[in-house]
């Protein structure tokens, strides 16, 4: 198997999505500070995070292969909802999302011969959740490391009443946009 790119992420979801489209990659995660800047808009934040991750991957692993990075954030009324710090934070997030529409921003950054970027923005509407469901969901362990404290590809998918946009973008790597960026680097899917 010939490596086509470096994936600057430890996310199993991003690996599954790349596997789905038969891209050969090597996982080389990077660790950067993901704290939003003061008054940073959600779109600027997610773009900066993806770009910084791909730049860190290029600096760390060299330019032998293109470096792919992504960042996903949940946004409710222009407020970034990151990964929950603890149980109370997760429960508060899920209560805010309950019965509301929010957006999921995923930015993809691919560095190789050139630097390409793309952003997917998806509207997600949650049905109204009971407090018992929210607590039971937390106790399942699934929301603990997820932006917005839920995983659409897991049990959290039962909370989603509707989606307008990219399902794979909500999972963590929008395949349409990613395929376009890969093509620009000479990596084709078919």
CATH number of the domain to which 104 belongs = 3.90.950.10
Could you tell me if residue 29 is inside a domain? yes
Could you tell me if residue 57 is inside a domain? yes
Q: Are 53 and 32 in contact (CB under 8 A)?
A: yes
> CA-CA distance, 110 to 76, in Å (whole number)?
27
Could you tell me if residue 189 is inside a domain? no
Could you tell me if residue 190 is inside a domain? no
> CA-CA distance, 177 to 30, in Å (whole number)?
22
Residue 182 half-sphere exposure, CB side, CA atoms within 13 Å? Answer: 23
Domain that holds residue 118: 5-184
- Catalytic (active site) residue 31: no
> CA-CA distance, 95 to 89, in Å (whole number)?
10
Could you tell me if residue 147 is inside a domain? yes
pLDDT tens by residue, 94-148:
999 999 999 999 999 999 989 999 999 999 999 999 999 999 999 999 999 899 9
Q: Are 147 and 133 in contact (CB under 8 A)?
A: no
Could you tell me if residue 82 is inside a domain? yes
Whether the predicted pLDDT of 88 surpasses 80: yes
Percent of the chain with pLDDT over 90: 93
Q: Give strand ranges (E) for the chain.
A: 5-7, 25-27, 67-76, 79-81, 101-111, 115-126, 160-164
Whether the predicted pLDDT of 64 surpasses 90: no
Q: Which of 19, 31, 33, 71 is catalytic?
A: 71
Whether the predicted pLDDT of 1 surpasses 80: no
DSSP 156: G
User: Residue 151, SS3?
Assistant: coil
Whether the full predicted model's pTM is greater than 0.85, yes or no, is: yes
Could you tell me if residue 148 is inside a domain? yes
Q: How many domains does the chain have?
A: 1
């Amino acid at each position: 198997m010939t490596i086509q790119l470096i994936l600057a992420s430890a996310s199993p979801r991003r690996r599954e999505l790349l596997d789905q489209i038969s891209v050969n990659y090597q996982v080389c995660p990077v660790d950067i500070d993901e704290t939003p800047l003061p008054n940073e808009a959600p779109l600027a934040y997610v773009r900066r995070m993806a770009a910084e991750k791909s730049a860190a991957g290029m600096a760390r692993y060299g330019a032998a292969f293109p470096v792919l990075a992504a960042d996903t954030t949940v946004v409710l009324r222009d407020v970034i909802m990151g990964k929950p710090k603890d149980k109370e934070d997760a429960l508060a997030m899920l209560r805010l999302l309950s019965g509301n529409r929010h957006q999921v921003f995923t930015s993809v950054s691919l560095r190789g011969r050139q630097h390409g970027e793309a952003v997917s923005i998806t509207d997600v509407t949650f049905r109204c959740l009971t407090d018992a469901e929210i607590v039971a969901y937390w106790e399942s362990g699934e929301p603990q490391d997820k932006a917005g404290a839920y995983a659409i590809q897991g049990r959290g998918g039962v909370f989603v009443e509707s989606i307008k946009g990219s399902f794979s973008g909500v999972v963590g790597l929008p395949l349409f946009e990613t395929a376009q960026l890969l093509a620009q680097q000479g990596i084709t899917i078919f």
